[in-house]
Amino acid sequence: MIHDSKPAEFQHREALVSMTALSFIEENALLSQDQLDDAKKSLQALFLRTSGEETMLRKLIEILKITRQIHQSFASISTILTGITRGAQTVDGKITIYKQALATVTLNAEENAAFAGPFLSFSQAFLQKANMFDNSMRQYVELRENEARYASIYRIAQEARERLKQRLTGVLGSQTRGKHETKIRQQVMASFDYSEAESNLQYARRETRNKEEEILTLLEDIRAMCQMAKNPSMREKTDEPSDATVSSSSVVPPAAKTARPAAEYDDVFAMFARALRQHPRLLQIKDIVLDLFRIYQHSYGLFRLDCSNLNQAIETMFDNSEAYFEAKEEDRDIRNKRQKLKMIEGLIPFLERSAVMMAENESEAYNKFSRRLSDLISEKRAIWSHIAEHLLRAKVQAEAELSTRL
């Protein structure tokens, strides 16, 4: 039977550090419930059998680092998302002004049918698409962050499995004898099988791709509507690629690019020009209508830029999330995330320092290590000093839990 080469005292010390961290994490909601449950399962496995160097503490530090990156990335793109929402709200406000103007002018049935009514329907359809675009972009960010998390977890699982494979096929593996030992080894390998992590990553990527296609469809719809709110001499040729298609190439794969025929929508620009000649009273709403035409063109241009800029920011998140920890918008949600991020940034070096301290003397008695751990937590001017009080309370809870398990 395969036994862990580490002495029981070492596992007890590691469990104390890990459980202190978990208690602190749970109290301050620093990880999602799924991540916390996964960490607790790993801790439970530590009491039964560990896999050499692939320990609970190592895994916990990695997960915390991933969570820190996700917080940073989310905070960095809040400005773009806020801008998209503000753009949709601006369109809504301009349409409201148009409705109020119609109520003031009190157009007759012919004037309404010639332009005012169809344009109101056109505008409400544009607003609906703008709001859908806003919601879809926020969902897209969540999906990409989810994809980034699973990509990191998959990478960690691959590395862990490879280290374990090398360990079990080396000296340790050569020392196994009989079917029972072989079965144990296979069970250990299976526990680090990264097929689930790979499956989660593939599913997350599919969801992202579907959302990307949905976003491009919305953007093409908005572009097509804007063509109808533009002077015909300034419209794009039907056989030329739109700006949206070109600029969105980094957001959506080529196969998903399908231009929306502008003919599906009323030619409101030509309709308005014709209605002005036939119904002079419509001149009273001319400035408001032209302002809406401009707003539609402006909104589409900004949406297209936001789509491209957001995608570039998210792509960079996969390579270097540190680039986004500047100039965050200070709303309540971001302040809360920053507070959690500050806690995580204190917890990571504390755990890394604790791991070093454990390795210094593997035969050190548990009680002595516990006192040294308290001293470490209380160390003046430590990077984690801002969470020291919380850590000490978490350590007390961990020791109470640990004493009943051991």
pLDDT tens figures, 321-361? 443 333 333 444 556 666 777 888 888 888 888 888 888 87
Nearest CA among 146, 150, 126 for reference residue 211: 146
Per-residue pLDDT of 178-221, as tens digits, reads: 555 555 455 544 555 567 778 888 999 999 999 999 999 999 99
Helix axes 268-278, 117-168, angle to 10 degrees: 170
**Are the beta carbons of 388 and 377 closer than 8 angstroms?**
yes
- The CA-CA-CA angle for residues 350, 384, 57, to 5°, reads 20
Handedness of CA 34, 36, 39, 41 (dihedral sign): negative
Q: For residues 287-299, b (16+ Cβ closer than 10 Å) or e, as one string? A: ebbeebbebbeeb
pLDDT one digit per residue (tens) for the chain, 406 residues: 334 445 556 777 877 888 888 888 888 777 777 777 776 666 655 554 444 444 556 666 776 766 665 555 555 577 788 889 998 999 999 999 999 999 898 889 999 999 999 999 999 999 999 999 999 999 998 898 778 778 877 777 777 667 666 665 654 444 545 555 555 455 544 555 567 778 888 999 999 999 999 999 999 999 999 999 988 888 876 544 444 433 333 444 333 344 555 557 899 999 999 999 999 999 999 999 999 999 998 889 889 888 887 877 777 666 644 433 333 334 445 566 667 778 888 888 888 888 888 888 777 888 888 889 999 999 988 889 888 888 888 888 788 777 665 4
**Helices 117-168 & 195-228 angle (0-180, nearest 10):** 160
Backbone angles phi, psi at 240, to 5 degrees: -105, 145
pTM score above 0.75: no
Give me the pLDDT at residue 331, please: 43
Residue-wise pLDDT for 209-221, tens only, equals: 999 999 999 999 9
User: If DSSP states are collapsed to H, E and C, what string results for 4-29?
Assistant: CCCCHHHHHHHHHHHHHHHHHHHHHC
